[in-house]
A and B are shown apart, each in its own frame.
Chain A
Amino acid sequence: MKATLTVNLASDSHLLRTNLPIEIRDARLRLAGTLRGSGSLSLDPGTYRVSAVLGDGREHAEIVVIGEESGTSLTLGKCTVDDALPRQTIPIPASLEERWKRLDPKEGMAAEHDRRSGWRLGRMLRRILEKMFETSRPEPKAAVPLPPPLVLSKCVDAIVHGSTRDQWGFRATGRQIGVARFRASFSRWSVSLPVFVDRCDDEGYFLFNPSERRADAADCVVKSDRSQGRERPLALIAPWRAVASAMQHMLMERQLTHAANVVEAASDLLLYKYQDPVAAALGALVLHRIGRLGEHATWIDNLARDFPWLPDGRIVKAALLSTKAGDDARDEAVELLLSCVKARVLFTDSYSLLLELLRRHQTRPRHAARCGKALETLAAAWPLVEWGLPTFTVREERWL
């Protein structure tokens, strides 16, 4: 007599909810069944362990006893990523939100086409936010509060969108990799921000349409991280970008296979519709790490070509070209790599790959000089890179 086990995955994302693999093991831990996303299966009565790696990159598991009489249902894991991120503390003024909503694609194009006006919009928004910061600041108390572990000192090509004592939300201001500068007692860092940059339309214009995103959420969040025994700024993709956020957390938890599963499940959105180019670049790095870049060669070409502001795409393409025979492919790879030497990369993995590929091409006489010089340029930053952080973060100098 079999009974039905129904497993639901607790995730806001339909894609993750319906695609993350679930393992069901019996009391001897033998695999009794698998599910792809929330679903049901028939099992003999007994004790089972049900587990899945969710969007926070961690394995969530429950032990469940299935009786003979009726079906059993369980909800697996409550992803804690959302709870870990700051809510917006400063609401976007209704008038501005209205203006965004009213922006039609043409107006969006115009706003982006005229960089100056886009820049003015960003400045205006920043002024409003700064004003609100000032007005909403609480009255000083008699007790001296502890200084925050990190202080945001500057933000370039992104705007602050909500903050708490030790967490900051950021949003994109244009087609750029945002950079935030933080300082602590003895260090300061510049952090590449994985902001949400919309795709381009067919004519190459930027479709700035914030109403598509979750209105109260930042694109990414920087929080104070003490995992290495000292304070560091950790940049995380916001959970509403469910696919990108899940990939990032899975990589941080060394769950590469699960990250690759997410890339495959989301390949249509991620790889071919460019819903989130930053997520696409992260997906490309995942594919590179599991040796499956070649299966998406056309898409890698497009990623490198369509998003010149994102050098990570060019580095991944160079990795693909470097595995091909013939001088033409390798020459192109070297040119792509050299074009990234002075660019700000987004992910630490991209920077590592850039170094690795330059070292590889340096062994060939025809590229030795140029690759050697590029490596010398990069060597200056090398000891200052925070290798343990997912987005490219550099300690800038001693801060005394």
Chain B
Amino acid sequence: MNETAELGGVIAEDLSRPGTHVLVIGVSRYQHGIDADAPGRLCVDMRIGNLTSAACSAATVADWLLHRVMLPPLPPLASLRVLLSPVDGELDEMPIDARLRTAPRATRANVQEAMRQFRIACESHRDNHAVVYVAGHGIQVTRAGAVLLLEDFGADTDPMKLYAAIDVEAHRRGLEHDDAARQQCWFADICRERPEIASKYQNLPAGVPCDEFVEGGVDASPMVLAAATGARAYAYKNGRSFFCEALLWALRDGGAATAAADSWQVPFTALYGKLHARVAEIARKHGYEQRVQLGGNCSPGVFHVYDGSPTVDVTIALKPDAAPRTSRLRLRDDSSVVIHECANCWPATTRVDAGIYSVEVVDTAPFANFFKSMLFDPSTPPYTVTLR
């Protein structure tokens, strides 16, 4: 076990063997933001105010990462550092592990120290894995990376404008070398500033230092950004961000689960694709446009492994309206065994293991009976059987 004091450590750090090291930062409260009694000039200029979803989203992701079952080939959870700056009451009603409620605040000093310790942990074994999730206000200056503004950002006394900010992409690159965790995944759930304001700061270095000039590489180190450059990332008021919701759906609910030879997994490639589609879908549902963007080293890798096949909630509706409600639904598996049957149950709902099933709707006179093989996986939307 590591004897040094871990900043934001939720579990005891174990550097004795390869493990998964996690860093989560969520900033909703801005000390010098426009909601403060004495806002900083920079925050006024950039209109930086408190958020209501960043710390909440980060805590939810941290909670899932804390409790997820780590199965081979993923190394066990070896450290989890969480820094949260919630606004008053933001975490009160959330069903999260009690240890997360006492996470230190995401100030510049704390983030710098946590990042230093996280880096040491990641460099302790080549076979380590690393996961980073950050949420808060930010500036995205390129397609590939983003700068996260920390809780004490924008003090008038700061020696430089982005003093209390961390260039997440620079730190990712700083950990892309031959001694670092072989597989990494970085998520930046950042509410981007308006482009005309952000452009003023795009040539400024961020304050939390990092040595980016390192040689070598890692197997994979993707940076998944919640929104496209210059576009906004959205969140539910007093709730989680759209990106966080899509991420949990993809991982916890198996939305991005893919069957491998002997287990169900979430490969990076499936994660990007499903996140991209899900975030766009959630945003569209609320009248917005939001597109996930990818940066970093996007080589193949596995993010998560499940201990069984995911189950899928299936909803099947019947059309047209004149179709007899007494029609009978049967779901058969590949061996022709009926695994669900009901009559007069429209719209029919059931829960099945992901897979291909034969959908039969019979007793449909005067319409023809319906037979079709269908795929049900976690991303299957409700299905409507149209009788002819």
Contacts and interface: CB of A to CB of B under 8 A. Distances in A.
Interface of A: 25-31, 46-49, 61, 63, 65, 227-229, 253-257, 289-292, 294, 322-325, 330, 348-349, 352-353, 355-356, 359-360, 362-364, 372, 375-376, 379-380, 382-385, 387-388
B217 interface: yes
Q: Which 6 A-B pairs have the closest CB atoms?
A: A27-B334, A375-B203, A383-B195, A352-B143, A387-B229, A291-B297
Contacts of A379: 199-200, 202-203
Nearest to B195: A383
Contacts of B353: 28
A387 B203 contact: no
Nearest to A384: B195
A362 B230 contact: no
A284 to B, nearest CB: 15
5 contacts: A254-B292, A325-B215, A355-B142, A383-B196, A388-B229
Interface residues of B, number: 60
A257 B195 contact: no
Nearest to B269: A257
B203 A372 contact: yes
A355 B289 contact: no
Contact of A254 (B220, B272, B309): B272
Contact of B375 (A49, A227, A289, A322): A49
A362 B333 CA distance: 60
Nearest to B354: A29
A336 to B, nearest CB: 16
A32 to B, nearest CB: 10
B228 A387 contact: yes
Given A31-B261, A382-B199, 16 more contacts: A31-B259, A49-B356, A49-B375, A228-B291, A254-B292, A291-B218, A322-B213, A324-B215, A330-B213, A352-B229, A353-B142, A356-B141, A360-B170, A364-B213, A379-B200, A383-B230
B355 interface: yes
Contact of B205 (A255, A257, A359, A383): A359
A28 B309 contact: yes
B43 to A, nearest CB: 20
A107 B25 CA distance: 64
Q: Which of B221, B229, B276 counts the most chain A CB atoms within 10 A? A: B229
A103 B106 CA distance: 68
B299 interface: yes
Nearest to A64: B373
A356 B205 contact: no
Contacts of B294: 254, 256, 289
A254 B195 CA distance: 24
A31 B260 contact: yes
A291 B259 contact: no
Nearest to A373: B203
Interface in B235-287: 258-261, 269, 272-273, 276
Most chain A CB inside 10 Å of its own CB: which residue of B203, B259, B261, B357:
B203
Interface of B: 141-145, 167, 169-170, 173, 195-196, 198-200, 202-203, 205, 212-213, 215, 217-218, 220-221, 228-231, 258-261, 269, 272-273, 276, 289, 291-300, 309, 333-334, 353-358, 373-375, 377
Given A29-B354, A360-B173, A383-B230, A65 B205 contact: no
A65 B373 contact: yes
Nearest to B296: A289
A290 B294 CA distance: 11
B159 to A, nearest CB: 16
Query: Most chain-B CB neighbours within 10 Å: which of A26, A254, A352, A353?
Result: A254
B215 A323 contact: yes
A383 B291 contact: no
Given A31-B261, A229-B289, A382-B202, A387 B298 contact: no
- Choose among B169, B229, B353, B356 the residue with the greatest number of A CB atoms under 10 Å from its CB: B356
B188 to A, nearest CB: 14
A49 B220 CA distance: 29
A121 B258 CA distance: 55
B276 A254 contact: yes
A364 B213 CA distance: 9
Given A372-B203, A382-B199, A383-B196, A388 B215 contact: no
Given A360-B212, A379-B199, A355 B170 contact: no
Contacts of A359: 141-142, 167, 170, 202-203, 205
Contact of A349 (B143, B145, B169, B272): B143
B143 A348 contact: yes
B259 A29 contact: yes
Contacts of A364: 213
B356 A47 contact: yes
Contact of B373 (A47, A356, A360, A385): A47
A49 B376 CA distance: 11
B298 A383 contact: no
Contacts of A362: 203, 205
Nearest to A360: B212
A229 B293 CA distance: 17
Nearest to B145: A356
Nearest to A358: B203
B153 to A, nearest CB: 19
The CB with the most chain A CB atoms within 10 A, among B272, B298, B333, B353, is that of B298
Most B-side CB within 10 Å, residue of A31, A322, A383: A383
